[in-house]
Structure 1
């Protein structure tokens, strides 16, 4: 059974206020995208990659891709459309029950141990899995005036991370339904949840930062420095898997 990796990297990253898309910003002597792909390759060297890029991308350098088997796919306007295009590119090759792992291009600090734990969790899984971290901060619900309405309980609240892994055909059906209905889909798990299914949580490290705002780049550099010093590829959390349930993020 082939393991497929999909990396959406077609975004412009305007919130970074940079001179280039955030996946091409320099980090620890390389680009964010190159570091992300290297982490994935460390964990899954034999996987096949579909890298989703803007059709007008002038920053991409194929030398940053460590995989021997990979293809470039033109991305869409939104994440859901981009991932669906990657699945379209796989239709002639992927089996219905092949696992597809989708990982954000802007998560270069994902621990290799977490990637391996996610993969191991697929052995006895019927629906799919995603890396996630339990909410640690006090959660406030705002009202229409921007004031605190009330405090939300942190119990059973999780931050959804990536990778997220689902069977090829199930993910295709879920994304098609989301596109047909115009449902708000911010990650692959939310599309699966809209079908009435509950993906399984695999607890991941808080090192798995998504670079979104300018200050995140410095935080990612610090995380990479710590990981290099401890020589762990970023140690994962000790408890890795949890019973099936929906994700609140």
Structure 2
């Protein structure tokens, strides 16, 4: 497990998870289990948290949550009521769980992803004024299928380049523009077009400045890198993976379960043999 980053950088993570899962048309997707064969299988949110935390480089995890969600309030209560001391834990798994729980803080989210990330930054800035060497990793709660070693490669490359970065993949399918009647009006060139993913990583002060400007000027953005674009900051793309998919619809969950099962075997079961 790695505990230090290049250039003595400090890394914190924000997981915006205050969405209503309206397109999922069922229960809150981030509390869906990824392990059908187990009664209390790991859910989407916990899998995303574990994948971010596994390598040990993230100092603190801030989860922007929906305080009207019963599931989230129960999850928050479990985390906040973990009073056990790591030294008193019985097993190594218990020590890891307690250590992870102590890293997590909850921040009441907003009506949009943009508002939730900004609220988390405001909360951090309220008690931590010196963020010159602090980087922020923003990761979707509903994107559980990214390997930890891919995260580490992305994190270290971002710090090495000293430039904001996002995971993304180039578009390979043909892109069609349609009109209000669902008729094709144009075929768009896919040259230089990429699909944005998460994690996305930024210097704390740059991300805060960008989201504050957007908030103050009522500018809506659909991801954090777009906020940087508004102020003219550059952001690089880091080659992601097609399986780092965001769960949006119910059909996405079946795909994520297959990928996660493969991930689990690769990371844990193979290492035990």
Task: Return 5+ residue gaps in structure 2 as ranges.
Answer: 1-8, 36-40, 80-96, 269-273
Q: Residue 14 of structure 1: which of 22, 42, 52 is its match? A: 22
Is the 2:34–2:260 contact (alpha carbons within 8 Å) kept by the matching residues of 1?
A: no
Is the 2:11–2:59 contact (alpha carbons within 8 Å) kept by the matching residues of 1?
A: yes
TM-score, normalised with respect to structure 1: 0.86
Q: Residue 108 of structure 1: which of 144, 164, 184 is its match? A: 144
Task: Tell me how large the CA RMSD over aligned residues is.
Answer: 1.8
Is the 1:97–1:169 contact (alpha carbons within 8 Å) kept by the matching residues of 2?
A: no
Q: Residue 11 of structure 2: which of 3, 9, 13 is its match? A: 3
CA distance in 2, matches of 1:138, 1:49: 38
Deviation, 1:45, is 4.8
Mean Cα deviation higher: 154-163 or 113-122: 113-122
Partner of 2:174: 138
Question: Counterpart of 2:20 in 1: which secondary structure?
Answer: coil
Mean Cα deviation higher: 65-74 or 47-56: 65-74
CA distance in 1, matches of 2:220, 2:232: 15
Matches within 5 A, 1:192-231: 192-229=228-265, 231=266
Which has more radius of gyration?
2
CA distance in 2, matches of 1:227, 1:138: 30
Task: Return 5+ residue gaps in structure 1 as ranges.
Answer: 234-249
Mean Cα deviation higher: 60-69 or 196-205: 60-69
Is the 1:131–1:203 contact (alpha carbons within 8 Å) kept by the matching residues of 2?
A: yes
Q: Residue 86 of structure 1: which of 97, 107, 120 is its match? A: 120
Partner of 2:210: 174
Deviation, 1:232, is 5.2
Question: Counterpart of 1:15 in 2: which secondary structure?
Answer: coil
CA distance in 1, matches of 2:109, 2:63: 9
Q: Residue 69 of structure 2: which of 40, 57, 64 is its match? A: 57
Is the 1:98–1:167 contact (alpha carbons within 8 Å) kept by the matching residues of 2?
A: yes
Deviation, 1:67, is 4.5
Is the 2:15–2:61 contact (alpha carbons within 8 Å) kept by the matching residues of 1?
A: yes
Deviation, 1:148, is 1.3
Which has the larger share of helix? 2
Deviation, 1:117, is 1.6
Q: How many residue pairs were aligned?
A: 231
CA distance in 2, matches of 1:143, 1:17: 25
Question: Counterpart of 1:30 in 2: which secondary structure?
Answer: coil
CA distance in 2, matches of 1:46, 1:219: 28
Partner of 1:125: 161
Partner of 1:99: 135
Is the 2:13–2:58 contact (alpha carbons within 8 Å) kept by the matching residues of 1?
A: no
CA distance in 2, matches of 1:45, 1:59: 28
Aligned: 1:27 with 2:34? yes
